[in-house]
Structure 1
Amino acid sequence: MNILMIEDNESVSEMMQMFFLNEGWDATFKYDGKEGLDAFLSDPNSWDMITLDLNLPGMDGMAVAREIRKVSDTVPIIMLTARDSESDQVIGLEMGADDYVTKPFSPLTLIARMKALHRRSELAEKTVVSDSDENTFDIQTDHFKMNTKTREAYLDGKTIEGLTPKEFDLLYTLAKKPRQVFSREQLLELVWDYQYFGDERTVDAHIKKLRQKIEKVGPQVIQTVWGVGYKFDDSGVA
């Protein structure tokens, strides 16, 4: 992978550089938010992964994530934060981060998260779409359709726009088993590809963004089952 690490703590960057080299990954390090954003914008398609500190000089991590997402919905972003505030972490995810790791963190944990996120992203990018695939739906009900080859989802014939890879995978995981309730722990394992580490807020933040995009085209089909988790149910769509 080609990594862009935007991190103002040089000791953290130096430590991670050793781990990146051990994996055979190339890495560019920027210690200022504005410089990091400029590095991304100089060649947006060259980056396989971005790790982004929340507290940065020049431009904070949330602002950087927001600007990156204006250019790319697909580049994976992992936010690194020393803050232990639930609101900070949720806002970071809402700004476009796919995952977050709280400092101090184990380098091996970060590497594992990066590998899991990259596997999902790579699978989505390598999907080859033929003419026959365009009209073939993996999920199809009276109101809802999903095509995993074209990575498109429709509600009552209207495209659900702007789905990130994680949002698409989350919607697909729920929709392929309608009305089955998934716990947050199950969704972390199925969609994020790692075991439950107590990061339920990752799921909640992505559900919130997914619901906002669904509501732009029609009724809400992602339901909360209080105290348990979430389910897909379009049976109430008129």
Structure 2
Amino acid sequence: MNQTTTAPHGGALQQRLDDYWTSRAAAYHRRQVEGDRAALDRELWTRVWRGALGPRPLRVLDVGTGSGYVAHVLAELGHDVLGLDSADGMLAEARRDAEGRRREGRPAARFVRGDAVRPGDTDEVRDAPYDAVTSRYLLWTLREPVDALRAWSALVRPGGTIACVDANWYPGGIDRGVAVESAAGPDAFGRTYDLGAEAALPLATAADVDAFVATFEAAGLVDVRTERLDEVAELDRRFGVSPGHESRPQHLVTGRVPLTLA
């Protein structure tokens, strides 16, 4: 398994998750930017994020940015984007992509290492407020999701947006037989997301999108809405999914930071 520096927060569990995602980083990034569906995916996610954030250029914090896919989509839409992640391998992929984009004169996000649950503890993030916080495929693997959303909201101006995309990947419990492309071996997912991890990640086994809505509302967000992204499922049907995965309905969940404190 690739070694990383100590996780900024979250102890042994977060370190284990970070090591897993570091070992997955190269294959994960390659799957997103190469292949027959890559161009269609880019068009789809450009539409999704344009719809979520609107046409006006915003200052955006993309938490759990991974290899920077969403952060760069947002940058191409004209937003000023800082991506944050705690997995060193994912950040290496994101920064490598950003360097290539800058050489080509294309918009690129900036990236910093930090904890998605407590992003405000990272110096580069403290220059708030942001207009929006975004994430994709992070909610399910978040420890302390309500605390995380409260921390994100504290970085966003009143009336600003929190926008997350995710799915209920494991409503019947995490499948530890999943085989993945990983430098740590095909069984790395099952070893990482064991019963202890499952118990510590409240949304990992959420039954439906209502669990995401309840989390947003418990964190104090208002005007919480969901949109089912059926186009993702259609691309899954046409082109298939990543090895070891299955297609699940994905949703965009948005909420607004209250204009005044309750």
Which bracket does the TM-score occupy, shorter chain normalised?
A: 0.3 to 0.5
TM-score, normalised to structure 2, is: 0.31
**The structure with more radius of gyration:** 1
